[in-house]
């Protein structure tokens, strides 16, 4: 039976089939491949489809970067290396993953506060573009550049005076550990030049998990204006202007997919309006969640069923330790259910009695789905958490309670 509420969020979910298939494989086949449950599986086809949509909907001139922190799984990143124009990394580990793919180091951006000396040395040595987050960091990069006798490629990360409204996480319009306050940028650009650094880019990131095209369009407009003002004031000739992203995906009931065509049209207009000032620069969007979030599934199996004070519970073999965000403990203020299905019973009628799905951890925080309506649940059923490709496996406390780590796989033909 088609679950309309689910479909309004997950247009790609094919519920005409009896069983969920991912990358052309059934859950039983995937469980055999994994050798165990729980596991994460990422659908190569859905990742490619997202990138294709971005390519056809955003102006051709806009470069698409993948932010590795959303999902650093090696096969996923390696696959994306063939699809996107660059990577954004935020740690030494992510830098190594990005370099391992063979992508041109110039197309790697390294951002994040508090980069260590070994991180900065690795970045300068590799020739990736370093987003400068503080004045001291600028001085450190300059020293390292002298020591290693390499010209360091830098972008000034700007802490804008505006915010990306209606975002899951705001990163602008306030005091911030990220970037240089806009008013300080001209002084730091002058200092960077004095020190012989190559100021190749501006990096302006205003927020994350946003489903409101109008807010993103407004932030883009302000971002272009700020970039052009800085370019003109500082007489910059840039290779890149990274305008951030923040494109969200619908997780919860009543959320709607982002209107990407609207964003594409407004970017087109902004590119034309500011053509003169931006002529040498590539405009880059950096996206994590939007590219991989919908391609990921967390697959668990039911191990126990019980009733307590008239309420039904299904216990599954995975939970918060593998998927913190799904438990509601990764940035959510009020816990809401991720979309969850019984993967081997997609076509079965929904039982009107709600059931709560919980994990095996000895804490009441270990909720997989609170009071949801599902087909009748039985031992051995596959409970699958959808929208689990971003900030899921790698953003979870795997050590907590000492269970095994989940297997991660990439499925589907290339
Ligand atoms: C986390 C992050 C991203 C990716 O954000 P998504 O919401 O996953 O698209 C991009 N850029 C920077 C600077 C980030 O910190």
pLDDT at residue 76 tops 90: yes
Percent of the chain with pLDDT over 70: 96
Indicate the top mutation candidate among 243, 245, 248, 291 to test ligand 1's pocket, ranked by most ligand atoms within 8 A of CB: 245
Residues 6+ apart with CB under 8 A from 358: 313, 314, 315, 316, 319, 366, 367, 368
Question: For ligand 1, atom 5, which residue shows the shortest CA distance?
Answer: 288
51/329 Cα distance (integer angstroms): 29
> For the segment 102-144, what is each residue's pLDDT rounded down to a tens digit?
999 999 999 999 999 999 999 999 999 999 999 999 999 999 9
How far, in Å, is the centroid of ligand 1 from the Cα of 275? 26
Does 288 sit in the ligand 1 pocket, CB within 6 Å?
A: yes
Q: Say if ligand 1 is within 6 A of residue 133 CB.
A: no
Can you state the angle between helices 92-100 and 117-126, rounded to 10 degrees?
20
Q: What is the pLDDT of residue 206?
A: 86
Closest residue (by CA) to atom 12 of ligand 1?
205
Q: Do you find a cis peptide bond into 389, omega within 30 degrees of 0?
A: no
Domain formed by 104-287, architecture: Alpha-Beta Barrel (3.20)
CA–centroid distance, residue 264 to ligand 1 (Å) = 19
Q: Which of 115, 286, 388 to mutate to test the pocket of ligand 1 (most atoms within 8 A of CB)?
A: 286
Ligand 1 pocket, residue 121 CB under 6 Å = no
Are the C-beta atoms of 13 and 257 separated by less than 8 Å? Answer: no
Question: Could you report the per-residue pLDDT of 342-385, keeping only the tens digit for each?
Answer: 999 999 999 999 999 999 999 999 999 999 999 999 999 999 99
Instruction: Tell me, in angstroms, the distance from the centre of ligand 1 to residue 291's CA.
Output: 11
Centre of ligand 1 from the C-alpha of residue 373, in Å: 33
Segments making up each domain of the chain, as ranges: 4-42+294-411, 104-287
User: pTM for the complete prediction?
Assistant: 0.95
Would you say residue 399 has pLDDT above 80?
yes
State how far the Cα of 329 lies from the Cα of 161, in Å rounded to an integer: 29
- Nearest-atom index, ligand 1, CA of 157: 13
Whether ligand 1 lies within 6 angstroms of the CB of 65 is answered as no
Does ligand 1 come within 6 angstroms of the Cβ of 205? Answer: yes
Strand partners, 156: 132, 202
d(CA 247, CA 263): 10
> Contact, 374 vs 332, CB < 8 A?
no
- Same CATH fold, 104-287 and 4-42+294-411? no
Question: What pLDDT does residue 13 have?
Answer: 74
- C-alpha–C-alpha distance, residues 80 and 87, integer Å: 9
Spatial separation of the C-alpha atoms in residues 207 and 226, rounded to whole Å: 16
Q: Ligand 1: which atom is nearest the Cα of residue 69?
A: 1
What's the CATH code, domain 4-42+294-411?
A: 2.40.37.10
Residue 4, pLDDT > 70, answer no
Q: Whose CA is nearest to atom 6 of ligand 1?
A: 288
């Amino acid at each position: 039976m088609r679950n309309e509420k689910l479909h309004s969020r997950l247009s790609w979910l094919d519920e005409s089939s009896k069983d969920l298939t991912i990358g052309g494989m059934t859950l039983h086949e995937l469980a055999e491949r994994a050798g165990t449950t729980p596991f994460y599986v990422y659908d190569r086809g859905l990742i490619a489809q997202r990138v294709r949509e971005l390519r056809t909907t955003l102006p051709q001139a806009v470069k698409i970067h993948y932010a590795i922190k959303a999902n650093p799984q090696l096969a996923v990143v390696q696959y994306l290396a063939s699809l996107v124009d660059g990577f954004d990394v935020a740690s030494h580990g992510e830098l190594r993953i990005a370099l391992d793919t063979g992508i041109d180091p110039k197309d790697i951006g390294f951002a994040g506060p508090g980069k260590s000396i070994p991180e900065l040395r690795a970045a300068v040595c590799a020739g990736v573009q370093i987003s400068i987050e503080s004045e001291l960091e600028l001085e450190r990069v300059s020293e390292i550049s002298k020591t290693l006798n390499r010209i360091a490629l830098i972008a000034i990360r700007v802490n804008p005076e505006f915010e990306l409204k209606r975002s899951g996480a705001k990163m602008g319009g306030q005091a911030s550990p990220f970037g240089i306050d806009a008013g300080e940028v001209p002084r730091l650009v002058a200092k960077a030049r004095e020190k012989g650094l190559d100021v190749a880019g501006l990096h302006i990131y205003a927020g994350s998990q946003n489903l409101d095209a109008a807010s993103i369009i407004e932030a883009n407009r302000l971002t272009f204006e700020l970039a052009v003002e800085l370019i003109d004031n500082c007489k910059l000739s840039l290779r890149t202007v990274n305008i951030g992203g923040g494109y969200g995906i619908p997780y919860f009931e009543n959320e709607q997919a982002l209107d990407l065509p609207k964003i594409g049209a407004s970017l087109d207009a902004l590119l034309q309006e500011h053509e003169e000032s931006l002529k040498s620069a590539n405009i880059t969007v950096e996206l994590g969640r939007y590219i991989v979030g919908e391609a990921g599934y967390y697959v668990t199996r039911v191990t126990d069923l019980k009733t307590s004070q008239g309420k039904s519970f299904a216990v599954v073999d995975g939970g918060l330790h593998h998927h913190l965000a799904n438990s509601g403990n990764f940035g959510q203020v009020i816990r809401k259910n991720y979309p969850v299905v019984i993967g081997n019973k997609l076509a079965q009628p929904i039982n009107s009695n709600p059931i709560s799905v919980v994990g095996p951890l000895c804490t009441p925080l270990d909720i997989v789905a609170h009071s949801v309506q599902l087909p009748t649940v039985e031992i051995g059923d596959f409970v699958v958490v959808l929208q689990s490709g971003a900030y899921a496996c790698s953003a979870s406390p795997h050590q907590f309670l000492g269970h095994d780590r989940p297997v991660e796989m990439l499925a589907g033909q290339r």
